[in-house]
Amino acid sequence: MKKFHGIPIAPGIARGVAWPILPVEAGPTPRYAVSTECVAGEHVRLEEALDFACGELLALKRSLTAKLEDADTAIMDVHVALLRDPSFLADVKARIHRDLVTAEHAVAVETESMVARFLQMENAYMRERASDLRDIGTRLLSAFTRGAHPSDRHASFPANSIVIAAELMPSQAAELDPGRVVGILTEIGGPSSHAAILARSFGIPFVTGIPDVVQLVQRGESILIDGYTGETILSPTAPATLRFDVLLKEHEDYTEAIIHHRHEPCLTTDGVRVTLHANIGSVSEVSTVLDNGLDGVGLFRTEFLFLGTAHAPRLSVHERIYRSVLQPLRDRPVTIRVLDLGEDKIPEFLRARPKLCHRFNVRGLRFALAFPNFLRTQLRGLLRASSDGNVRILFPMVVGVDDFQAAVAHVAWAAEKEKLTAMPPVGAMIETPSALFELDGIIEFADFLSVGTNDLTQYLLAASREDTDYEGHYSMLYPGVLKALQHIVDRAARAECDVSVCGEAAGIPAVACLLVGMGFRILSMSPHRSAAVRHALRLMSANELKQIATDALQMRRVADIRRHIKERMESRVQPVHDSHAAGVEAIV
């Protein structure tokens, strides 16, 4: 028996047999030189291959409509858009003409270049887009010979299969049969990858981060995986399997319990209503908002519109994307965060202009204000789409009153340009220490506040972003962070200003209960975590949670706070196996 600890990116528990799959590769790429006279012909071959690849993707989308929601199948639309990106097509054609190489050679080089750029980004969400680029590059290369995409060639999976791969491409994940595949283990992957999103839609637990997993596991080998803790056992002993079966039954009972109430109001036992929103970063995740009975979107990230493209997104692109999010959600509020760029997130179309590099050293709102044309275009697209739903505008990394007033003025300008008589609500993200000291002034101009616990914790603790994730060594349970959060919710309540928490800590049941005890009534999280949070809050009274929070705020050591929360809440809000709800153990 061998034990491994990976990174859980789709929840669930599974017992099954290993079924390794080969990496997605298009095969050898012709890399011989072509003559000048052949360049035009290579351009034609490129266009024909693009048409074939896009046709494949649309056919795949049609075949998936029976088992996926429309928003999930929109992943195929994203891949079509990437293939049809005019800048990508222009770069490939330019390379053919400049280097006198085949279209396949040019596609391979340009794809490798884009993948390398994305993998170098510090932002995890953007690094995970590299798998999409690899996937479409492979599909396009296969299209030159009119062959099926390599992901279409794997054998049928036997019952109770656990897929083993170095990296699972989105197209591979889309074709998994949830009736036969019960788990996924990979070496590379991330929670925001399209493969992980699809796995969560299918209800398949997914653990990644296990080095050399394909070499370690033999086909047919028995495997136990925990998609909450990342624990994985190969060739378990009979006693280990027996214990796991008990755990699996407990998990099934717990899952049934939390799913049963996912469309009911989130009310504490004494009738206090808590609003649950979703954090999403793509159109493909909209269906998860509805599936989990959430009240709206508390954070829609828009950086993907600016990164990985050779040109700034046009007004029409902004409008189309925002409408596609707003329309399915109808009256539910959708909070769209304005471009949060800077530091490691610098668009390619700006990197090519070295004279502007002095503006790259700021983040969030200050970066947006440094490039007002991009900001105003985004705001106009957002306001145009607002007729299709209940939109709210959120500015990230607000430093103080001055920059937030400037942001509000840009919204007013865009509203006048679009001939709107009223502006939608405009909010400020409180995630910098300076904003804590200017909070009263910011509230004067803000319709609502949103607390980004990830960044706020990072800056307050002088820690790296990775260390402040809920699986890291630091957490928002530090006394100074808790006092900052209490300061925010108290000031907002005094001014009668709505305030939400949109950091991922809000998706951890015990921590969500603590936040409600402190006075927060709006929590935003990854949709797949919301059922467990709703279940936990429905088991506690607001008065009880207030006392737990009051006691925690008097403590001086994070270890004491952690112990206090575990003792007061774990037996109530956590299942027998406390990792089921991503408990306190996972965040400290």
Using an 8 Å Cβ cutoff, are 340 and 397 in contact?
Answer: yes
Cα-based distances in Å from 524 to 125, 512, 567: 18, 10, 25
HSE-CB for 354 with a 13 A CA cutoff: 0
CATH number for the domain whose boundaries are 296-448: 3.20.20.60
C-alpha to C-alpha distance for 137 and 152, rounded to whole angstroms = 15
C-alpha to C-alpha distance for 64 and 62, rounded to whole angstroms = 5
Instruction: Please report which helix (H) or strand (E) contains residue 153, including its range.
Output: none
CATH number for the domain whose boundaries are 257-275+453-501+503-588: 3.20.20.60
Using an 8 Å Cβ cutoff, are 202 and 178 in contact?
Answer: yes
Architecture of domain 36-150: Orthogonal Bundle (1.10)
Q: Which two tokens stand for residue 116?
A: 């390398």
**Which of 193, 206, 227, 194 is CA-nearest to residue 71?**
194
Using an 8 Å Cβ cutoff, are 6 and 230 in contact?
Answer: yes
Pairing of strands 275-280, 231-234: unpaired
**Which of 551, 68, 87 is CA-nearest to residue 349?**
87
Going from the first residue of the chain to its last (588 residues), give the mean pLDDT of each consecutive group of 10, the final group possibly shorter: 88 89 65 85 92 84 60 67 81 91 90 84 71 85 72 66 90 83 91 81 88 90 89 89 83 80 92 95 85 94 78 90 93 95 74 63 88 95 95 97 97 95 94 96 97 90 56 68 97 97 86 96 90 92 96 93 84 52 38
CA 393, 395, 397 angle in degrees (round to 5)? 160
**Identity (one letter) of the amino acid at 286?**
V
Q: Which two tokens stand for residue 181?
A: 């595949």
Cα-based distances in Å from 468 to 8, 86, 424, 452, 517: 17, 38, 32, 12, 22
Collect all residues with Cβ–Cβ distance below 8 Å to 152 and sequence separation of at least 6: 171, 175
Residue intervals of the chain classified under CATH 3.50.30.10 are: 2-22+154-243
H helical segments located in 144-237: 170-174, 194-202, 213-216
Query: In this predicted structure, what is the pLDDT of residue 189?
Result: 86
Using an 8 Å Cβ cutoff, are 435 and 398 in contact?
Answer: yes
For the CA atoms of 32, 33, 38, 41, what is the dihedral angle to 10 degrees? 40
Instruction: Please report which helix (H) or strand (E) contains residue 101, including its range.
Output: none
Residue with tokens 């800048």: 87
CATH number for the domain whose boundaries are 2-22+154-243: 3.50.30.10
Residue intervals of the chain classified under CATH 3.20.20.60 are: 257-275+453-501+503-588, 296-448
Cα-based distances in Å from 232 to 11, 12, 100, 431: 13, 12, 50, 36
Using an 8 Å Cβ cutoff, are 519 and 449 in contact?
Answer: no
